[in-house]
């Protein structure tokens, strides 16, 4: 039998602890699944500085055995039942070994994952090209166009922006609900937290400093005499580079791949999500959702801590 951990999340504020019985019944109706222990946890709204308030959510955390195959097989079985017996919950199956005391590495995409904004769209709006660039960004996140070409095209329209505009946009960045709590929980437990972005280091740096991240990496906008040139410096942070950063940081931190968690939302995050011991889609586009091990579609990033027992 395979040991399994199940984390079911719901943001339905009408749910109560009585719904625990309904969820238990839905899960145990899956042939071969035996629940040995379970707990329902309620999480109050987030009021951390720099975050918008998020909804209350319920996390049902269960552990047990699956007789019919692997964790991947159980994920498939859950997916078949989710729309009927498990409606109202996002049900994720993870390896219970993730909850062990081993050091972990959490790697977060930035735009639309760690933060609410797509910063290149915000910058383009300041340049008067917001709608045009937002459309290209959406295509890139869906995997419909090649990332580096789309990035250079979008960066080109930023030519002439003042460096002070970068500071203004950086000051307006809003963390996703639960981001501060998620990062603090991992760091306080002795784990490492990193952010890797296809955006720009000039906007990621203040976020990384505020959250005291272990590592951060992003593209570098060229700025000469206080003006953005529309060019990039150094290597492009694309999907391959994100995956490379994940492996580099895991080695540096001495973290086994099985204890690496990667979180993203778009096609540019597929490689690092696939490379991680646990790959999570956060309000993800379909291309990433298809390959992610788990998902969070609620507006509470901190729900991820329940996957690893924090």
Closest Cα partner for 242 from 194, 278, 210, 207?
A: 194
Q: Which of 111, 238, 265, 269 is catalytic?
A: 111
Task: For residue 109, indicate whether it is catalytic.
Answer: yes
Count other C-beta atoms under 10 Å from residue 84's C-beta: 9
> Which residues does 194 contact at the CB level (< 8 Å), separation at least 6?
105, 106, 107, 108, 213, 214, 215, 216, 217, 245, 246, 249
* Alpha-carbon span 83 to 90, nearest angstrom: 10
Beta bridge partners, 262, equal 107, 279
Count other C-beta atoms under 10 Å from residue 282's C-beta: 25
Q: Which of 109, 238, 265, 293 is catalytic?
A: 109
* Alpha-carbon span 19 to 213, nearest angstrom: 37
Structure-block tokens of residue 225: 């005499």
Task: For residue 240, indicate whether it is catalytic.
Answer: no
> Which residues does 272 contact at the CB level (< 8 Å), separation at least 6?
107, 196, 239, 242, 243, 245, 246, 262, 264, 279
Active site members = 109, 111
């Amino acid at each position: 039998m395979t040991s399994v951990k199940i984390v079911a999340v719901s943001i339905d504020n009408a749910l109560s602890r009585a719904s625990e019985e309904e969820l238990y019944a839905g899960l145990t109706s899956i042939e071969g699944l035996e629940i040995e222990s379970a707990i329902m946890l309620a999480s109050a709204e987030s009021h951390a500085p720099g975050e918008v308030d998020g909804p209350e959510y319920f996390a049902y955390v269960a552990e047990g055995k699956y007789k019919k195959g692997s964790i991947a097989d159980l994920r498939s079985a859950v997916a078949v039942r989710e729309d009927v017996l498990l409606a109202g919950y996002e049900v994720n199956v993870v390896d219970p070994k993730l909850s062990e005391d081993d050091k972990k590495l959490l790697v977060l995409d930035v735009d639309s994952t760690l933060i609410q904004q797509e910063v290149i769209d915000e910058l383009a709006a300041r340049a008067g090209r917001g709608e045009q660039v937002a459309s290209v960004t959406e295509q890139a996140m869906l995997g419909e166009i090649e990332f580096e070409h789309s990035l250079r095209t979008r960066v080109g329209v930023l030519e002439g922006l003042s460096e002070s505009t970068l500071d203004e946009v950086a000051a307006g960045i809003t963390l996703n609900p639960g981001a501060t709590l998620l990062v603090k929980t991992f760091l306080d437990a002795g784990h490492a937290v990193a952010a890797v972005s296809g955006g720009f280091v000039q906007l990621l740096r203040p976020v990384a400093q505020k959250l005291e991240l272990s590592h951060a990496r992003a593209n570098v906008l060229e700025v000469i005499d206080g003006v953005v040139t529309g060019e990039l410096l150094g290597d492009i942070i694309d999907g391959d580079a994100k995956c490379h950063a994940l492996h580099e940081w895991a080695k540096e931190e001495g973290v086994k791949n099985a204890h690496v968690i990667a979180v993203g939302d778009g096609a540019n995050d597929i490689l690092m999500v696939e490379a991680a011991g646990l790959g999570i889609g956060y309000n993800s586009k379909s291309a990433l959702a298809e390959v992610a091990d788990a998902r969070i579609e609620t507006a509470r990033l901190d729900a991820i801590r329940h996957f690893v027992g924090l």
